[in-house]
Amino acid sequence: MVTKEEFALVKKRLEHWNEKIIIATFRDNIKLNKDEMLKHIEAQDDIGKELAEIQMNYLRKLKERK
Amino acid sequence: MPTNSALIIRPNYCVVTRYGSAYMTQILDSANSKSLPTIDLHGTEATASNFFSNLETQDPILVSILGHGSYNLIACQDGETLLVGGSNDYVLDGRVVYDLSCQSGRDLGASAVANGAISFLGYTEDFWVCLSEGEHSDGGMLNPLQDEVARGFLESHNVAPISYINGSTIENSYYNSQDRFTYWLNVWESIDSGVASLLMWNRDHQILHLFREDPIISTTPTPPSEKAGIAPLALAFAPLLILPLMKKLK
């Protein structure tokens, strides 16, 4: 479950995403560039939720290490 | 009883399967270097009928799968259904399976091992790959093997079957893959933490279902010094190769 505040944090993070790097998965031919990622975050749809979970998983683990 | 051989199925019909199939040549090279008989179902050959007929006639112990997936299904070329947990996964009975698909490590992997597979290494959630934008019509680079951004993602998975081919136990092949993800994660943390976050996601959702640890696959014996090859050296210098690339991407 990603909170509203976490979505906002992830949005800020993805605003700094390198525009020349795209992401893709081995599911349903999903391929996203920076703008598309941000749209999913704003819509808070299934892909947006997963992108947010990925970033939050990273940030939480980073915090645990410190 | 499966024979000492390998089957690799690697569809190639979208950007991510094109990249995945290109990087799976690393597994083929490793099998060739060990003189391991290998069936390579690539691109249009990566069909369900070819897969099942080769499992039956060649009976390989090692099966390496690439394809789109969901929790209980793996697809092959053009999205054709290949394996469904509880339906046809009994064909993996007695085999060591390495699967690069989204999600299928969760239900299909568990089902395959419950139905007789020795092991199933896969991913319980989506497997994400970062790619450099390029000139290919699918948006990626023309030669995926030159994409240093994608390299860590696909190489980290491939280390698992390659380790097994080189004589590691199944369990250690999983740990070697985990270690390679962590290595690339550390490299990318200092370059681009967005890329690092996706490497971490893949690493954290990699799973090994293991029914029993069988004797390691027997390959041509190689002296320890040759086993190491130039891989450790290449890895040590990998960050130096990536830094100029990242400057180019900026």
For chain B, domain boundaries: 3-217+224-249
Judged by CB atoms closer than 8 Å, whether chains meet at B128 and A23 is answered as yes
Helices (H), chain B: 15-23, 25-33, 48-58, 107-114, 148-165, 170-189, 193-204, 224-228, 231-249
- DSSP, collapsed to helix, strand or coil, labels residue B70 as strand
- pLDDT value at B83 more than 80: yes
Bridge partners for B10 per DSSP: B42
Q: Which of A17, A22, A26 to mutate to test the interface with B (most CBs of B within 10 A)?
A: A26
Going by pLDDT thresholds of 50, 70 and 90, the confidence category of residue B3 is confident
Q: Which residue has the higher pLDDT, A65 or B182?
A: B182
| A11 and chain B in contact, CB less than 8 A | no
Mean pLDDT value across chain B: 90
Q: B-side interface with A, Cβ within 8 Å?
A: 14-17, 19-20, 66-70, 100-103, 125-133, 138-140, 149, 192-198, 200-201, 204, 249-250
CB spacing of B16 vs A61 below 8 angstroms: no
Asked if the model's pLDDT at residue B248 lies above 80, the reply is no
The rounded distance, in Å, linking the Cα atoms of B36 and B5 is 6
Provide the pLDDT for residue B217.
Answer: 54
Tell me the torsion sign for CA atoms B57, B62, B66, B69: positive
What's the count of helices (H) and strands (E) in chain B, helices before strands? Answer: 9, 10
Asked if B128 and A33 come within 8 Å (Cβ–Cβ), the reply is: no
> Which residues in chain A are contacts of B22 at CB distance < 8 A?
none
Tens-digit pLDDT profile for residues B216-246 = 454 444 444 434 444 444 555 555 555 555 5
User: Has the ipTM of the complex gone over 0.85?
Assistant: yes
Q: Which residues have a Cβ under 8 Å from the Cβ of B179 and sit 6 or more positions away?
A: B159
Classify domain B3-217+224-249 at the CATH topology level.
Rossmann fold (3.40.50)
Angstroms from B29 CA to nearest CA on chain A:
23
**Which residues does chain B have within 8 Å of residue A18's beta carbon, measured at their own beta carbons?**
192, 194, 249-250
The strand pairing partners of B209, in sequence order, are B120
Cβ-based contacts of A49 with chain B (< 8 Å): none
Do the chains contact at B15 and A24, CB–CB below 8 Å? yes
Average pLDDT of the residues in A26-52: 95
B129 CB neighbours in chain A (<8 A) are 23-25
- pLDDT higher than 90, residue B178: yes
- CB A26 to CB B68 under 8 A? yes
SS3 content of chain A, % helix, strand, coil (to 5): 60, 10, 25
CB pairs under 8 A between A and B: 91
pLDDT of A38 over the 60 cut: yes
Residue B234 has what pLDDT?
A: 52
Contact B139 A54 (CB under 8 A): no
